[in-house]
Amino acid sequence: MARSSSGIVAGLTVAALVAVGFLGYQASATAPAHPAKDAPQAAAPSNAPAAPAPEAAKPAALPPDSGTGARVVYSVNLRRVWLVGQDGREQKSFSVMPSTAHPKPGTYLVSSRAGSVTGSDGVPVEHVVRFATVEGIVIGFSARVDGQMPQPDPTRKTGGIRMTRADGDALWAFATINAKVVVLP
Protein backbone atom coordinates (compact mmCIF):
# COMPACT_ATOMS: atom_id res chain seq x y z
CA MET A 1 0.00 0.00 0.00
CA ALA A 2 2.82 2.40 0.82
CA ARG A 3 4.44 1.90 -2.59
CA SER A 4 1.29 2.72 -4.55
CA SER A 5 0.63 5.83 -2.45
CA SER A 6 4.16 7.15 -2.99
CA GLY A 7 3.83 6.53 -6.75
CA ILE A 8 0.61 8.55 -6.82
CA VAL A 9 2.19 11.35 -4.81
CA ALA A 10 5.23 11.40 -7.11
CA GLY A 11 2.97 11.49 -10.18
CA LEU A 12 0.89 14.34 -8.76
CA THR A 13 4.06 16.25 -7.83
CA VAL A 14 5.43 15.93 -11.38
CA ALA A 15 2.09 17.00 -12.86
CA ALA A 16 1.94 20.01 -10.54
CA LEU A 17 5.50 21.07 -11.45
CA VAL A 18 4.73 20.80 -15.17
CA ALA A 19 1.55 22.86 -14.74
CA VAL A 20 3.35 25.55 -12.72
CA GLY A 21 6.17 25.71 -15.27
CA PHE A 22 3.73 26.04 -18.16
CA LEU A 23 1.72 28.75 -16.39
CA GLY A 24 4.93 30.60 -15.53
CA TYR A 25 5.99 30.52 -19.17
CA GLN A 26 2.58 31.79 -20.31
CA ALA A 27 2.68 34.59 -17.74
CA SER A 28 6.15 35.74 -18.79
CA ALA A 29 5.26 35.67 -22.48
CA THR A 30 2.18 37.84 -21.97
CA ALA A 31 3.35 40.03 -19.10
CA PRO A 32 2.61 43.76 -19.42
CA ALA A 33 5.54 45.99 -20.28
CA HIS A 34 5.64 47.66 -16.92
CA PRO A 35 3.94 46.96 -13.61
CA ALA A 36 1.35 49.48 -12.47
CA LYS A 37 4.01 51.26 -10.44
CA ASP A 38 7.50 51.16 -11.91
CA ALA A 39 10.34 51.55 -9.46
CA PRO A 40 12.31 54.75 -9.97
CA GLN A 41 15.24 54.14 -12.27
CA ALA A 42 18.74 54.72 -11.02
CA ALA A 43 20.89 57.25 -12.82
CA ALA A 44 23.34 55.78 -15.31
CA PRO A 45 26.91 55.54 -14.08
CA SER A 46 29.02 58.42 -15.35
CA ASN A 47 31.24 56.10 -17.40
CA ALA A 48 28.27 54.54 -19.26
CA PRO A 49 27.96 55.72 -22.87
CA ALA A 50 24.88 57.76 -23.53
CA ALA A 51 22.09 56.35 -25.67
CA PRO A 52 21.74 57.80 -29.15
CA ALA A 53 19.40 60.79 -29.34
CA PRO A 54 15.99 59.23 -30.12
CA GLU A 55 14.94 61.48 -32.97
CA ALA A 56 18.02 63.63 -33.71
CA ALA A 57 19.46 61.14 -36.21
CA LYS A 58 16.13 60.12 -37.75
CA PRO A 59 16.41 59.71 -41.52
CA ALA A 60 13.86 61.60 -43.60
CA ALA A 61 12.26 58.41 -44.86
CA LEU A 62 12.18 54.66 -44.65
CA PRO A 63 15.08 53.17 -46.68
CA PRO A 64 13.86 52.49 -50.23
CA ASP A 65 14.86 48.79 -50.55
CA SER A 66 13.24 47.63 -47.34
CA GLY A 67 10.60 45.25 -48.65
CA THR A 68 6.82 45.46 -48.80
CA GLY A 69 3.88 44.92 -46.50
CA ALA A 70 3.92 44.90 -42.70
CA ARG A 71 7.48 44.54 -41.41
CA VAL A 72 10.15 45.59 -38.96
CA VAL A 73 13.05 47.21 -40.79
CA TYR A 74 16.41 47.22 -39.01
CA SER A 75 19.43 49.10 -40.38
CA VAL A 76 22.65 48.01 -38.66
CA ASN A 77 24.68 50.99 -39.92
CA LEU A 78 22.00 53.60 -39.19
CA ARG A 79 21.25 52.02 -35.78
CA ARG A 80 17.55 52.45 -36.44
CA VAL A 81 14.34 50.43 -36.57
CA TRP A 82 11.17 51.27 -38.49
CA LEU A 83 7.81 49.64 -37.82
CA VAL A 84 5.96 49.58 -41.14
CA GLY A 85 2.26 48.83 -41.51
CA GLN A 86 0.60 46.65 -44.14
CA ASP A 87 -0.04 49.79 -46.22
CA GLY A 88 3.73 50.43 -46.42
CA ARG A 89 3.61 53.51 -44.19
CA GLU A 90 6.00 54.03 -41.33
CA GLN A 91 4.16 53.73 -38.02
CA LYS A 92 7.15 54.39 -35.77
CA SER A 93 10.91 54.79 -36.06
CA PHE A 94 13.51 54.82 -33.30
CA SER A 95 17.22 54.53 -32.53
CA VAL A 96 18.69 51.26 -31.27
CA MET A 97 22.04 50.06 -29.96
CA PRO A 98 23.24 47.17 -32.15
CA SER A 99 24.68 44.02 -30.64
CA THR A 100 28.20 42.81 -31.38
CA ALA A 101 26.90 40.00 -33.63
CA HIS A 102 25.02 41.16 -36.73
CA PRO A 103 22.64 39.23 -38.96
CA LYS A 104 23.35 39.32 -42.69
CA PRO A 105 21.12 41.65 -44.73
CA GLY A 106 17.95 39.83 -45.72
CA THR A 107 14.43 38.96 -44.64
CA TYR A 108 13.75 36.98 -41.48
CA LEU A 109 10.68 35.98 -39.47
CA VAL A 110 10.17 36.46 -35.74
CA SER A 111 10.79 32.98 -34.38
CA SER A 112 10.22 33.44 -30.65
CA ARG A 113 9.41 36.01 -27.99
CA ALA A 114 9.85 36.29 -24.24
CA GLY A 115 8.35 38.78 -21.80
CA SER A 116 11.47 38.94 -19.65
CA VAL A 117 14.75 37.05 -19.51
CA THR A 118 18.41 37.59 -18.77
CA GLY A 119 20.18 38.80 -21.91
CA SER A 120 23.30 37.23 -23.40
CA ASP A 121 25.26 40.01 -21.65
CA GLY A 122 23.88 38.99 -18.25
CA VAL A 123 21.49 41.97 -17.92
CA PRO A 124 17.74 41.63 -17.22
CA VAL A 125 15.79 42.50 -20.39
CA GLU A 126 12.14 42.59 -21.41
CA HIS A 127 10.10 42.25 -24.59
CA VAL A 128 12.56 39.99 -26.35
CA VAL A 129 11.74 39.47 -30.03
CA ARG A 130 14.10 36.91 -31.63
CA PHE A 131 14.52 36.56 -35.38
CA ALA A 132 17.97 35.23 -36.36
CA THR A 133 20.99 33.19 -35.29
CA VAL A 134 24.57 34.09 -36.22
CA GLU A 135 27.32 31.59 -35.42
CA GLY A 136 25.22 30.11 -32.61
CA ILE A 137 24.31 33.53 -31.16
CA VAL A 138 20.60 34.32 -31.07
CA ILE A 139 19.80 37.78 -32.44
CA GLY A 140 16.80 39.74 -31.24
CA PHE A 141 15.40 43.06 -30.09
CA SER A 142 14.99 43.83 -26.40
CA ALA A 143 14.93 46.61 -23.82
CA ARG A 144 17.02 46.59 -20.66
CA VAL A 145 14.82 46.67 -17.57
CA ASP A 146 16.98 49.49 -16.17
CA GLY A 147 16.24 51.56 -19.31
CA GLN A 148 19.87 52.01 -20.36
CA MET A 149 21.30 51.52 -23.86
CA PRO A 150 25.08 51.37 -23.36
CA GLN A 151 27.53 50.38 -26.08
CA PRO A 152 28.03 46.59 -25.87
CA ASP A 153 31.38 45.17 -24.79
CA PRO A 154 33.19 44.57 -28.10
CA THR A 155 35.11 41.63 -26.62
CA ARG A 156 31.88 39.64 -26.07
CA LYS A 157 29.64 38.23 -28.79
CA THR A 158 26.08 39.18 -27.89
CA GLY A 159 22.86 39.26 -29.88
CA GLY A 160 20.70 41.81 -28.08
CA ILE A 161 19.71 44.83 -30.20
CA ARG A 162 18.71 47.26 -27.45
CA MET A 163 16.15 50.03 -27.39
CA THR A 164 14.36 52.17 -24.82
CA ARG A 165 11.59 50.57 -22.81
CA ALA A 166 8.93 52.67 -24.60
CA ASP A 167 10.25 51.60 -28.00
CA GLY A 168 10.44 48.02 -26.72
CA ASP A 169 6.75 48.23 -25.83
CA ALA A 170 5.90 49.36 -29.37
CA LEU A 171 8.02 46.66 -31.03
CA TRP A 172 6.59 43.98 -28.71
CA ALA A 173 3.03 44.93 -29.72
CA PHE A 174 3.96 45.04 -33.43
CA ALA A 175 6.31 42.08 -33.95
CA THR A 176 4.42 38.91 -33.13
CA ILE A 177 5.51 35.39 -34.10
CA ASN A 178 6.17 35.13 -37.88
CA ALA A 179 6.26 38.92 -38.33
CA LYS A 180 8.68 39.93 -41.08
CA VAL A 181 12.03 41.51 -40.11
CA VAL A 182 14.08 43.08 -42.91
CA VAL A 183 17.74 43.64 -42.06
CA LEU A 184 19.67 46.25 -44.02
CA PRO A 185 23.39 47.02 -43.81
Whether the predicted pLDDT of 114 surpasses 80: yes
Q: Give the mean model confidence (pLDDT) for residues 147-163.
A: 94
pTM: 0.69
pLDDT exceeding 90 applies to what percent of the chain?
Answer: 64
Give the pLDDT score at 121: 85
Amino acid residing at 113: R
Q: What is the 3-state secondary structure (H, E, C) of the chain?
A: CHHHHHHHHHHHHHHHHHHHHHHHHHHHHCCCCCCCCCCCCCCCCCCCCCCCCCCCCCCCCCCCCCCCCCEEEEECCCCEEEEECCCCCEEEEEECECCCCCCCCEEEECCEEEEEEECCCCCEEEEEEEEEEECCEEEEEEEECCCCCCCCCCCCCCCEEEECHHHHHHHHHHCCCCCEEEEEC
Res 20: pLDDT: 41
Reported as a pLDDT band with limits 50, 70 and 90, residue 7 is low
Q: Per-residue pLDDT averaged across 3-15, rounded?
A: 53
pLDDT confidence of residue 120: 83
User: What percentage of the chain carries pLDDT values higher than 70?
Assistant: 68
Q: What is the pLDDT of residue 3?
A: 53
Q: What is the pLDDT of residue 31?
A: 46
Structural domain boundaries in the chain: 1-30, 71-184
Q: Which of 25-39, 64-78, 137-151 has the lowest mean pLDDT?
A: 25-39
Of residues 57 and 26, the one with the higher pLDDT is 57
| pLDDT recorded at residue 61 | 80
Q: Out of 3.40.50.300, 2.40.440.10, 3.40.630.30, 2.70.98.60, which CATH number does the structure's domain 71-184 have?
A: 2.40.440.10
* pLDDT-derived band at 17, boundaries 50, 70, 90: very low
